[in-house]
C-alpha cells in the first residue's frame, strides 16, 4: 500500500512539474493510472485532494489557477520548486556526514547515504572525517527490533497500528491498539510513545517487548498528537531517574556497569559480590530483572517482591 501511494504521488508530481499550462482534475485523472482505477468521482476527488496536500507537506509548491471557462487547473512551476544553492560550510557538512554514519546499522542506512551523495553532488563541501574506518570511535544507533521500521513509517504517515505487547511482569503478550507518535532511543533501547486506544491514555512501549508483526490499520487518529512528546522523561521516571528512595542490592563483581554508574555507594562483600545503594523509583524492578542472576535485591521488601514476581512470570512462559 505504501509503495502504491508513493508511486501515485511521484506520478502526480511529475505531471505537475512537466506541464507548461495548468492541468484540470479531469486531465490529471486521465494521465495517472491509479486515478483511472478509482471507483467513482467521489473516490478520485478524495484521493486527489489527499495527494495534493501530501505533496505540499513534502515541500512542493502547487499553484491553483482558474482559466477563462471557470475550470480549476494545477501546476508546479520548476523555478518555484528549484532548491537554492547549497551553502553549508565544512563544519555543517561534517555534522551531516556524522549523522549519516549513525544509521549504518539500521534500515535507514541506504536513505542516509543516498541523501548525503545528493547533497555532495549539489555542491556540499567535502569535510574531513573525524571518524575514519580505523578509528575505535564509531557513532551508532543500534536498531535490532523488527518493529522499528513499520513503527517509524506509521509515525511518519500517522497510521494507527496493532501489535502484541508483553509487559515486564506478564506471562503472555496482549494485543494493543496504538496511535503512534514518535520513537526515541534511551540507554540503548528503543521506545514508542503513542495513544493507547483501549486504555484511552498516552502510553510508552519498549520495542523489544513487542511480539510478532506490527500491523497497520486504516482510519485517522482519534486523539490529538501533542506538540511535544516527552518519551525520555516518561521512561526516565519509570526507570527510577526521578527516585526519592534508595534500594540496596547485591551485584556480582565485574557485572552490571549501568547499575554501578548510578550507585551512590559501592562496598565489596567478597566471594564475588558487591553491595550497592541506588536510587529507587517506579520501574526499577523491570530494569533489575534484565541483569538476571547477577543481581539480588536486599531491600526494600516491596522492590524485592516485585522483582521476584517478574522472574516467576518469565519462568512460567
Question: What mean pLDDT comes out for the span 157-181?
Answer: 86
252 three-class SS: strand
Please give the grid coordinates belonging to residue 129.
572525517
- Predicted structure pTM score: 0.47
Residue 242 in this model has a pLDDT that exceeds 70: no
174-186 and 23-24 beta bridge pairing: unpaired
Residue 255 in this model has a pLDDT that exceeds 80: yes
Of 101-105, 143-147, 231-235, 313-317, the range with the highest mean pLDDT is 143-147
pLDDT tens column, 118-131: 666 656 556 555 44
Please give the grid coordinates belonging to residue 290.
534484565
- Res 215: pLDDT: 93
Q: Report the distance separating Cα 17 and Cα 245, nearest Å.
A: 63
- Res 65: pLDDT: 87
Of 24-33, 101-110, 277-286, the range with the highest mean pLDDT is 24-33
Residue 138 in this model has a pLDDT that exceeds 80: no
Name the CA radius of gyration of the chain, rounded. 26
Residue 239 in this model has a pLDDT that exceeds 70: no
Residue 277 in this model has a pLDDT that exceeds 90: yes
- Res 134: pLDDT: 43
- Number of other CB atoms surrounding residue 193 within 10 Å: 22
Residues in the chain: 317
pLDDT tens column, 180-218: 998 887 766 788 889 999 999 888 898 888 988 999 988
Residue 222 in this model has a pLDDT that exceeds 50: yes
Mean pLDDT of the residues in the chain: 79
Contacts of 156 (CB under 8 A, 6+ apart): none
Amino acid at each position: 500500500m505504501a509503495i502504491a501511494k508513493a508511486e501515485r504521488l511521484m506520478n502526480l508530481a511529475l505531471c505537475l512539474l512537466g506541464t507548461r499550462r495548468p492541468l484540470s482534475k479531469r486531465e490529471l485523472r486521465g494521465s495517472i493510472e491509479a486515478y483511472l482505477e478509482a471507483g467513482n468521482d467521489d473516490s478520485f476527488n478524495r484521493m486527489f485532494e489527499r495527494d495534493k496536500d501530501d505533496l505540499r507537506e513534502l515541500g512542493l509548491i502547487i499553484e491553483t489557477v482558474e482559466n477563462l471557462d471557470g475550470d480549476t487547473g494545477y501546476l508546479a512551476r520548476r523555478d518555484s520548486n528549484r532548491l537554492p544553492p547549497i551553502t553549508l560550510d565544512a563544519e555543517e557538512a561534517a555534522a551531516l556526514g556524522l549523522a549519516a554514519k549513525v544509521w549504518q546499522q539500521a534500515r535507514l542506512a541506504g536513505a542516509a547515504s543516498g541523501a548525503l551523495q545528493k547533497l555532495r553532488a549539489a555542491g556540499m563541501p567535502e569535510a574531513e572525517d573525524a571518524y575514519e574506518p580505523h578509528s575505535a570511535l564509531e557513532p551508532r544507533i543500534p536498531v535490532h527490533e523488527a518493529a522499528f521500521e513499520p513503527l517509524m513509517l506509521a509515525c511518519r504517515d500517522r497510521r494507527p497500528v496493532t501489535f502484541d505487547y508483553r509487559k515486564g511482569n506478564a506471562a503472555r503478550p496482549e494485543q494493543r491498539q496504538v496511535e503512534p507518535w514518535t520513537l526515541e532511543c534511551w540507554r540503548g533501547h528503543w521506545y514508542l510513545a503513542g495513544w493507547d486506544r483501549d486504555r484511552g491514555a498516552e502510553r510508552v512501549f519498549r520495542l523489544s517487548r513487542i511480539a510478532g508483526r506490527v500491523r497497520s490499520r486504516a482510519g485517522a487518529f482519534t486523539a490529538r498528537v501533542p506538540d511535544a512528546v516527552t518519551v525520555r522523561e516518561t521512561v526516565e521516571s519509570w526507570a527510577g531517574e526521578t527516585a526519592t528512595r534508595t534500594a540496596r542490592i547485591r551485584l556480582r563483581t565485574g557485572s552490571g556497569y549501568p547499575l554501578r554508574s548510578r550507585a551512590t555507594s559501592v562496598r565489596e562483600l567478597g566471594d564475588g559480590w558487591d553491595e550497592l545503594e541506588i536510587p529507587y523509583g517506579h520501574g526499577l524492578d523491570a530494569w533489575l530483572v534484565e541483569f538476571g542472576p547477577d543481581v539480588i535485591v536486599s531491600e526494600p521488601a516491596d522492590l524485592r517482591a516485585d522483582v521476584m514476581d517478574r522472574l516467576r512470570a518469565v519462568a512460567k512462559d
